[in-house]
């Protein structure tokens, strides 16, 4: 059969193929719900869309697009919240090719709840088991550093949403940052082993000053289906994050779904942007806070000094405290002043400002350091080349060594009939000493 247009093909499917096959009209099929959405176009018109799926292993799923209208579909066996992602359901539906969204779909007239889906059951079982082992306990989680010197980022390739959002937010918060990126697949069966490899990479360079990181961020952009995040429910990945000696922040980018990685990470946020906020403070905000603290402390100290001065003056001028008592009170107040100065937080604020400046100078000097190291390596290479004995042999020279391989650099080390070996640029030769002539020295 030849179809003159796609419309003819779609009409043939809807009005001939599907209508003639009674098995495709009001059939029933069971699967798990993912991507469940309710769209209210009008007060009396509510459209429902979801995907019915079956896990076929290795991170792959069979999927059937489903839609219904609230007024023409019955729902049985659900609580007040209604159907949700992860529910195992049996639907009664008829196949139809939608001309509006160009997809084969099932028009659903009935949805029956048959329990939790296999994916949700596996998630709950793993969550309970790992929680019982203590992997989610706050007591084992590491603190996120306030000012990390370098950030390790495990994310997908250039131009992807999660990577771009994270880096853009970092640039907005501060111009002083150092990020080492490890590229990994962030969806599907290859995701867990590649993320684990990224964690291994950063931990293996903990003692390398050029690749050491203070915190690791695992992030990806949002997804619209529960199955987009299944890879982060991997038990091997959860155990590797739990054992990591570097703090790990999870920001896999969705507010609707929870994963095992969210529970086991040292900190968990819902978007790549929030992950950037969690690891890098806003520079201007920090500087403003420091300035405000310094100003407040200056005011407090000045106020205290005025109070102390007025007290001293009052004691000094009071006739009841004439004589040596005044000197005693001066010494006492001087001691109090020393204690106040000792506990002055301005010193701590100054130290924090010094550390911040130190980090800034290190970042600015980093390109110069690389250039200097490169020049030093080139100089060492030239020096090694200049003393390479192979270059001497290439100019037509050779040297003599004994049969057992010792260098013979003096006639005092040879005698007639002694076997020797001559070493040339491209090989060697054996011979005997016929005669020894010693050079006269004065």
Q: How confident is the model at residue 95 (pLDDT cuts 50, 70, 90)?
A: confident
CA distance 156 to 249: 16
pLDDT at 389: 67
Locus of tokens 């043939």: 12
SS3 content of the chain, % helix, strand, coil (to 5): 45, 25, 30
* Alpha-carbon Rg for the chain in angstroms: 39
DSSP E strand boundaries for 225-325: 248-251, 267-268
pLDDT at 244: 95
CA distance 130 to 124: 10
pLDDT at 98: 79
Mean pLDDT across the stretch 182-202? 93
CA distance 358 to 363: 9
pLDDT at 238: 95
In the predicted model, is pLDDT for residue 245 greater than 90? yes
Q: How confident is the model at residue 392 (pLDDT cuts 50, 70, 90)?
A: low
Q: List, in order, residues 6 or more apart from 190 with CB less than 8 Å away.
A: 59
Partners of 424 in the β-ladder:
427
Which is higher by pLDDT, 3 or 259?
259
CA distance 265 to 138: 10
pLDDT in tens, 112-128: 888 776 777 788 889 99
Q: Which CATH number fits domain 123-281: 3.40.50.720, 3.40.250.10, 3.90.1170.50, 3.40.50.2300?
A: 3.40.50.2300
pLDDT in tens, 374-388: 888 887 877 777 666
Angle between helix axes 346-386 and 283-317 (nearest 10 degrees) is: 130
In the predicted model, is pLDDT for residue 253 greater than 70? no
H helix intervals, 343-425 = 346-386, 389-394
pLDDT in tens, 274-302: 888 888 876 666 667 777 777 788 788 88
Which range, of 255-264, 270-279, 280-289, 349-358, averages the lowest pLDDT?
Answer: 280-289
In the predicted model, is pLDDT for residue 391 greater than 60? yes
In the predicted model, is pLDDT for residue 9 greater than 90? no
pTM, rounded to two decimals: 0.51
Q: Is the separation of the CB atoms in 249 and 217 below 8 Å?
A: yes
Share of the chain above pLDDT 90, in %: 20
Phi, psi of 135 (to 5 degrees): -70, -20
Residue boundaries of the structural domains of the chain: 6-116, 123-281, 287-344, 393-432
CA distance 36 to 277: 30
CATH topology of domain 6-116: OB fold (Dihydrolipoamide Acetyltransferase, E2P) (2.40.50)
Closest by alpha carbon to 35, among 77, 66, 74, 58?
66
CA distance 2 to 279: 61
SS3 of residue 98 by DSSP: strand
CA distance 167 to 279: 12
In the predicted model, is pLDDT for residue 321 greater than 60? no
pLDDT at 266: 95
pLDDT at 370: 74
Which range, of 167-181, 235-249, 388-402, averages the lowest pLDDT?
Answer: 388-402
For CA atoms 205, 206, 212, 218, the dihedral sign is positive
CA distance 393 to 390: 5
CA distance 218 to 185: 11
Mean pLDDT across the stretch 29-34? 87
For residue 99, how many other CB atoms are within 10 A of its CB? 12
Q: List, in order, residues 6 or more apart from 180 with CB less than 8 Å away.
A: 150, 151, 152, 153, 202, 211, 213
């Amino acid at each position: 059969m030849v179809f003159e247009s796609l419309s003819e093909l779609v009409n043939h499917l809807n009005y001939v193929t599907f209508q003639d096959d009674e098995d495709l009209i009001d059939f029933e099929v069971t699967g798990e719900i993912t991507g469940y959405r309710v769209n209210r176009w009008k007060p009396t018109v509510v459209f429902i869309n979801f995907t019915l799926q079956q896990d076929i292993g290795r991170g792959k799923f069979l999927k059937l697009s489903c839609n219904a209208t609230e007024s023409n579909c019955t729902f049985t066996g659900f609580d007040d919240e209604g159907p949700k992602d992860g529910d195992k359901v049996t639907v009664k539906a008829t196949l139809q090719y939608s001309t509006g969204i160009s997809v084969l779909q099932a028009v659903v007239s009935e949805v029956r709840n048959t329990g939790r889906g296999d994916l949700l059951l596996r998630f709950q079982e793993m969550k309970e088991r790992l929680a019982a082992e203590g992997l989610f306990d706050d007591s084992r989680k590491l603190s996120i550093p306030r000012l990390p010197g370098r950030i390790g980022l495990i994310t997908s390739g250039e131009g992807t949403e999660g990577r771009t959002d994270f880096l853009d937010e970092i640039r907005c918060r501060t111009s002083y940052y150092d990020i080492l990126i490890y590229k990994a697949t962030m969806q599907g069966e290859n995701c867990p082993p590649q993320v684990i490899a990224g964690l291994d990479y950063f931990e293996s360079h903990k003692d390398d000053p050029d690749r050491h990181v203070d915190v690791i961020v695992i992030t990806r952009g949002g997804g619209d289906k529960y199955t987009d995040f299944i890879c982060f429910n991997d038990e091997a990945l959860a155990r590797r994050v739990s054992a990591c000696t570097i703090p790990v922040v999870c920001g896999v980018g969705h507010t609707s779904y929870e994963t095992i990685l969210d529970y086991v990470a040292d900190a968990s946020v819902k978007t790549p942007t929030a992950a950037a906020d969690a690891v890098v403070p806003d520079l201007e905000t920090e500087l403003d806070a420091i300035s405000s603290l310094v100003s407040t402390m200056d005011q407090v100290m000045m106020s205290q000094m005025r109070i102390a001065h007025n007290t001293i003056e009052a004691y000094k001028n009071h006739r009841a405290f004439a004589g040596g008592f005044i000197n005693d009170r001066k010494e006492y107040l001087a001691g109090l002043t020393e204690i106040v100065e000792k506990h002055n937080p301005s010193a701590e604020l100054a130290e924090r400002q010094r550390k911040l400046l130190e980090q800034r100078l290190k970042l600015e000097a980093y390109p110069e350091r690389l250039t200097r190291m490169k020049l030093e390596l080139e100089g060492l290479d030239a020096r090694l080349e200049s003393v390479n004995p192979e270059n001497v042999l290439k100019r037509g020279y050779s040297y003599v060594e004994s049969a057992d391989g010792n260098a013979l650099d003096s006639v005092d080390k040879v005698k007639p009939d002694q076997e020797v070996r001559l070493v040339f640029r491209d090989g060697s030769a054996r011979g005997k000493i016929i005669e020894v002539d010693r050079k006269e020295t004065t």
